[in-house]
Structure 1
Amino acid sequence: MPDSLLSRGAMLLLAAVGCALAAPAMATSAPGFAGPLAVHLRSDSITLRMAKAPQLYLAGTIDAAAVEQMRQLLRSGRVSPGTDIYLDSSSGDIAAGIELGRLFRAARLSTHLGTWHTGSAPARPATCLDACAYAWLGGLYRWSPSGTDRIGLHQNLLPDRAAAEPGAPPPAELRDYVAAMDVDPARLAQVSGAMANGIAWWDAARLLPAQVANNGRLPLAASYMKTPGDAPRLVLSQTVRGREDQVTLQCAPGQVALTARYAVGDERARSLAARAMYAYFEVGEQAWQPHLGKRPQADGDALVFERRMPFAELTNVLRTGSLGAWVEITGSPVRLGFWLAPSLAEKLTQPFYADCQAMQPGYVPPKASAGQARPSFWKRIGQRLRGGG
């Protein structure tokens, strides 16, 4: 049987799932699954072909026993790096949720909200509350809830509280964990919607902009290299579900060369290159000269193409929150490619721009401010006589 069932009791699990599916879809408060942790693993060939990863469904109370159950699954090798974890839990211990989140991150797992269902039976809404929400934060890739799925924290478990509530971890400990999961603790307050029955439900639409969810995208990586005699070179890298795409910006007098590297795998790169019609960059959702330039070529595991822009266009490229690199393929109804946000790497894009600007014809360095003016001739002589250089 392609779907594996792993639980503390098959009869208990079947009864719990049956009750859950029978619950009204529009209940006033989605209860989540609060029984002992039930685990379903879906790793059949169809799932692996369509979803590109196994799917593990966890429903029930998150406690020390649940953490140990997950640890044993990881040790068994049945849950591999990249597995998608679907959570549905409204009860549990916060310390256990944090430990579960750490296990997810160490194993490079992705977290979603979702409930197990088979056949044509509709999936009921998932609820991820308190311990579950902290476990969800442990996902290397964290996917925003969809539909009527909900995630949130009781007010007394928010990490921005001044003091700990009875039975709750100290707020500083919660903030340290959230930060260790590459999430700014202050962003949790930004995504919280209206309080309802003491629960701050997170607004799914705010999770991605606030970078609490990343929907498969790791933070933008940037590398700036400038050595004497070489032109400034900036590399922006975006990892999406384990695939790293790049845009390289190489400065030259009067222009900047942009090279896109779209990682698709060796065999697919060759196939797509043979059918590629044209490629282009998109700055702020505006295509830049889409029908000009050479077609993309296969280079190892990637499709690669280059375009040259006037230096005057560089500011728009570095400030945009969406720089796309797209390829149009013969016979395909959709374009292929990726996008990244140069504006998120401002600490490196600014010095790159300054050094590139200094290479441009007619560049005049700014005059030194009064506080940085060169000392007068007689003052320099006095400094030398006093041993000051």
Structure 2
Amino acid sequence: MTVACLGATRPAYALKSASHDAAPNQLATQVNDDRMTLSMARVPQVYLYGPIDIDAPHRFEALMKSGKIPTGSDIYLNSPGGSVDAGMALGRLFRQGSMVTHLGTPRLPKGSKTIVNKSAICEGACAYAYLGGLYRWAASGSDRIGFPTYPAQRAPEQVDAYLKDMGIDSAALAAVSATGAADPALWPNADEMIAKGLANNGRLNLVATYKFMQDAPYLELKQDDRNGEHKITFLCKPGGAELTTYDTIGTVRARETVARTTHSYFEINQQETLPQQAGATAVDQSVVLQRIYPLDQLQRVASAQAMGAWVRDRTGLRYGFAFEVGGVRKVLNDFYNACSLATQQHS
């Protein structure tokens, strides 16, 4: 579906999209906003390819201001590098627009017989631009991304500041210098990108909060991804923990989803829990499930690896969310212990 390091001399692509060609040795842009793309992705797919020149951020910002590249657009990068300052400026624009970064190469015209390399490469300045994505998909297949490393000293001050602003731990890049590798770049695979926090594959970190509310132990688990905000709460009560889940997907989608719902359930470790017929409501922008979770089963919450909330329609399709909770084990246990103690005191 893509081509590597295409220069600005490629012809424009006729896909009900716009190719904003640049001069040689400049970053070129292809905006795919045809009906099929928008029906599947809901946002344009924007391909940036070629060297990143110093003026590239200005051209990109102009397309943002014109509305051609709206908030949340998918950005596909394929560049051998270029100006580091321009790469970071692009990254800041991506973050400003809550955009999603991937590696990928431009679409070819339908029926084209051109033979091109379909693997994308994103190196140096391009890698810095990639880190600006609010959601960042790890390189897959034969696509490759190369992050600059600084073996002998800290990253330059402006780079270090940029990484902090993007929420990237500079140690994830600097640590590679200890290997003594001759290559001045880090070329991580998908698993390494996730482990180092360089990619998040469409979701931000899970936020777990334990506190007292209404003089009772309260647990909140919240995670944002590119489809919306997802939240699970437990409020400890003598008769059972009040369980509420929120799948915040927008007012219209929430109402449409609830209107189609014939079955809903909470999920622990991919096992259906507390099922009900219908059982979902639309509240503001969210699909909401409410249940009373039995206190004698609350240990399952403390030891869970994953939780979620789902609804099904009459065709069997399900809609909802799930997230891994193994990384917040201490918070889960703190809530369970406090709830157990509180219920014992009331018994």
TM-score, normalized by length of structure 1?
0.73
Q: Which residue of 2 aligns with 1:158?
A: 149
Q: Which residue of 1 aligns with 2:225?
A: 240
Q: Which residue of 2 aligns with 1:24?
A: none
Whole-angstrom CA distance in 2 between matches of 1:233 and 1:57:
45
Whole-angstrom CA distance in 2 between matches of 1:194 and 1:296:
57
Counterpart of 2:254 (choices 266, 269, 273) is 269
Given that 1:94 and 1:130 are in contact with CA atoms closer than 8 Å, whether structure 2 keeps it comes out as yes
Q: Is 1:92 the equivalent of 2:82? A: yes
Alignment of 1:216-235 (within 5 A): 216-227=202-213, 229-235=214-220
Whole-angstrom CA distance in 1 between matches of 2:257 and 2:70:
29
Q: 1:3–1:112: structure 2 CA closer, same or farther, 3 Å change rule?
A: same
Alignment of 1:15-34 (within 5 A): none
The one-letter amino acid of 1:257's match is E
Q: Which residue of 1 aligns with 2:143?
A: 149
Q: Is 1:134 the equivalent of 2:128? A: yes
Counterpart of 2:240 (choices 255, 273, 276) is 255
The one-letter amino acid of 2:344's match is P
Which of these two proteins has the greater Rg computed from alpha carbons?
1
Given that 1:115 and 1:123 are in contact with CA atoms closer than 8 Å, whether structure 2 keeps it comes out as no
Measure how far apart 1:41 and its partner are.
1.2
Gaps of 5+ in 1: 13-34, 365-389
Given that 1:294 and 1:305 are in contact with CA atoms closer than 8 Å, whether structure 2 keeps it comes out as no
Measure how far apart 1:95 and its partner are.
2.7
Counterpart of 2:310 (choices 310, 326, 332) is 326
Measure how far apart 1:140 and its partner are.
0.8
Q: Is 1:74 the equivalent of 2:57? A: no
Measure how far apart 1:325 and its partner are.
1.4
Whole-angstrom CA distance in 1 between matches of 2:20 and 2:129:
20
Whole-angstrom CA distance in 2 between matches of 1:256 and 1:73:
50
Counterpart of 1:311 (choices 283, 286, 295) is 295
2:164 match: secondary structure: helix
The one-letter amino acid of 1:325's match is A
Q: Which residue of 2 aligns with 1:179?
A: 164
Given that 2:54 and 2:86 are in contact with CA atoms closer than 8 Å, whether structure 1 keeps it comes out as yes
Measure how far apart 1:307 and its partner are.
3.2
Measure how far apart 1:300 and its partner are.
3.5
2:69 match: secondary structure: coil
Deviation track 1:286-310 (CA, whole Å, cap 9, x = no partner) reads: x143645763233343322233333
Gaps of 5+ in 2: 1-13
Deviation track 1:359-389 (CA, whole Å, cap 9, x = no partner) reads: 122599xxxxxxxxxxxxxxxxxxxxxxxxx
How many residue pairs were aligned? 328
**Which range is displaced more, 270-279 or 191-200?**
191-200
**Which range is displaced more, 187-196 or 114-123?**
187-196
Higher relative contact order (CA 8 A, sep 6+): 2
Whole-angstrom CA distance in 1 between matches of 2:165 and 2:332:
26
Same amino acid, percent of matched pairs? 37
The one-letter amino acid of 1:3's match is S
Whole-angstrom CA distance in 2 between matches of 1:42 and 1:114:
13
